[in-house]
Amino acid sequence: MTPNKATVERYMDGFNLSDHDLILSCLTDDVVWDMPGAFHLEGKQAFDKEIENGALVGRPKIWISRVIEEHDVVVAEGSIEAMRKGGSLMKAGFCEVFEMRDARIRRLTSYLMEIK
């Protein structure tokens, strides 16, 4: 496994564990996180606030089905399940594009589609 893929795996593990420190250790200080149509965040502090954004409760369950890497870009596809505050289960598919620098995430673009 390449260092970039290992970082992405640790990052996903951090979300499964709701471990902010683990997630943040995978990021550059100037990280940018975009979810088109939802938000644009810059910096670790803003990223940290979105890790548990208030719409969901408990720990999400994330499964990765495929990881592809070329140069300093890693793409991960998978699925997620999480409980909403109101008690309903949210299921979604995702594709995340990680732009890496020195085996840390410098930019993340997240595409998420809810599965009904």
Report all structural domains of the chain as residue ranges with CATH numbers, in order of start: 3-114 (3.10.450.50)
Res 54: pLDDT: 75
- Residue range 53-66: mean pLDDT, rounded: 87
Res 55: pLDDT: 79
Backbone angles phi, psi at 105, to 5 degrees: -80, 120
Res 51: pLDDT: 84
Question: Is residue 108 within 8 Å of 38, Cβ to Cβ?
Answer: no
- Residue range 69-96: mean pLDDT, rounded: 95
- Tell me the percentage of the chain whose pLDDT exceeds 70: 100
**For the whole model, what pTM was predicted?**
0.92
Q: How many CB atoms lie within 10 A of CB 71?
A: 8
